[in-house]
Structure formats: C-alpha cells, structure tokens
C-alpha cells in the first residue's frame, strides 16, 4: 500500500504539467470510488485529459515530461493521443503509475467535473458522481467485476439528481438493463 503522501506528490507533479500546457483533466477510476463511495486501496491513478488540448500541446507536453520524474514512452503517448487511447506515466520517485486516458469515456464528462479537496489543501477536478457511476457501468460491461460494488456505492450515495443522470447516461449508452442488474445485487455474499 502506498502512503497518501505518495499519491499527493505524484498528482502534484502531473497536475503541474497539465496546467502548464492548459490541458483540461479530471481524476476518475478507483479514486472516484474513494471520493464518492467507500474507502479502498488503489494501486494507480486514473486521469482523463482533453484530447484536443493534448493534441495541440503534444510536443511541449513530452518535452516537459523529459524534464520530470516520470518514466514514459513518447511513441506510446503519441499513438495513444492519435487513437484517443490510454498511455502511462510512471513516477520514478514515488513508484506510482498514472493511467492517462486521452479521451472522454462518457461524452461531456470533462464539462461536468467537480472540484473536490482530494488531499488536505489539494483541490482537484474529479469526474462527477454521475459520470463516475456511468464509467464504472461501461467497465462492468467490458468484464470488470470489482466495479460492480463501486457502482452501487457511488450510485446510492448520490442525490436524486445524480441517480437520474446516471440512469439517463445508462440509457444513452444502451446499458440500462445492466444498471438495474448491478443495483439489484447484494453488497455481501449471503449463505
């Protein structure tokens, strides 16, 4: 398990580079489970970035990475940005991995980000509760079993407006029946 300081320090370095290049971003993935659901361990940090911004700033972004503590493959970054895929950065100091998604999984999610105090004194954009739930639903449809419990906790902890938006997004994604299936499951295994 990584200490909280390692996550904070790694994020601070990445955020500084994103902001230097005016690349919109937000945290997503397992960290949203911690923020909106229930505390649990995570092994990496998932971040969604604006593909248009990274595309226009790609060379200077990679140049900044060259001067940082991050290990990376510039060819993999270029390919991921071109294909709107995922690339990784590895913080050589903290030994933490960042999964950077150069596209929105849920259309418009970067516009609905919520700024939240993720660590003491560190306020960062995080995927909205509805987008976090919808993205977990997409991952469940691709076979992720650990996202099932996360989805239930994120969904149930929201307001009616959040739950209604999750349902709208599920309908838009063609995953409404999967949402109903996951929400009907118990959180604990019964004898």
CATH code assigned at 11: 3.30.460
Q: Which of 88, 111, 127 marks a domain boundary?
A: 127
| 91 plus 137 within the same structural domain | no
pLDDT at 1 exceeding the cut of 50? no
pLDDT at 191 exceeding the cut of 60? no
| 115 plus 134 within the same structural domain | no
128-165 pLDDT, tens per residue?
999 999 999 999 999 988 889 889 989 999 999 999 99
- For residues 146-162, one letter each, b for 16 or more C-beta atoms within 10 angstroms of the residue's C-beta and e for the rest, the string is ebbbbbbbbbeebeeeb
Q: Do 187 and 152 contact (CB within 8 A), yes or no? A: yes
pLDDT of residue 133: 94
Rounded Cα distance between 156 and 126, Å, is 18
pLDDT (mean) for 37-63: 89
122-127 contacts: CB < 8 A, separation 24 or more? 122/8, 122/11, 122/12, 124/11, 124/15, 124/26, 124/27, 125/24, 125/25, 125/26, 125/27, 126/26, 126/27, 126/28, 126/31, 126/32, 126/35, 127/26, 127/27, 127/28, 127/32, 127/48
79-114 pLDDT, tens per residue?
999 999 999 999 999 889 999 999 999 999 999 999
Residue 190 lies in a domain: no
Q: Which domain holds residue 144?
A: 130-184
| 10 plus 90 within the same structural domain | yes
| 99 plus 153 within the same structural domain | no
96-101 and 86-91 strand pairing: antiparallel
Tell if the pTM clears 0.85, that is, is over it: yes
| 102 plus 179 within the same structural domain | no
| 91 plus 106 within the same structural domain | yes
| 61 plus 139 within the same structural domain | no
Residue 81 lies in a domain: yes
| 54 plus 101 within the same structural domain | yes
Number of domains forming the structure of the chain: 2
């Amino acid at each position: 398990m990584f200490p909280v300081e390692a996550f904070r320090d790694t994020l601070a370095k990445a955020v500084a580079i994103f902001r230097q290049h005016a690349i919109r971003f937000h945290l997503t993935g397992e960290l949203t489970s911690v923020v909106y659901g229930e505390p649990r361990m995570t092994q990496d940090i998932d971040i969604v970035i604006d593909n248009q911004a990274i595309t226009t700033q790609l060379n200077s972004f990679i140049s900044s990475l060259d001067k940082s503590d991050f290990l990376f493959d510039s060819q993999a970054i270029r390919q991921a940005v071109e294909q709107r895929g995922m690339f990784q950065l590895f913080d050589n100091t903290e030994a933490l991995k960042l999964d950077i998604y150069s596209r929105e999984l849920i259309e418009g999610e970067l516009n609905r980000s919520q700024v939240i105090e993720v660590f003491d004194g560190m306020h960062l954009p995080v995927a909205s509760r509805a987008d976090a739930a919808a993205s977990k639903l997409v991952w469940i449809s691709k076979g992720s079993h650990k996202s099932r419990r996360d989805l239930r906790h994120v969904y149930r902890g929201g307001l009616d407006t959040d739950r209604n938006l999750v349902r709208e997004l599920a309908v838009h994604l063609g995953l409404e029946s999967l949402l109903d299936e996951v929400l009907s499951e118990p959180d604990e295994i019964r004898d």
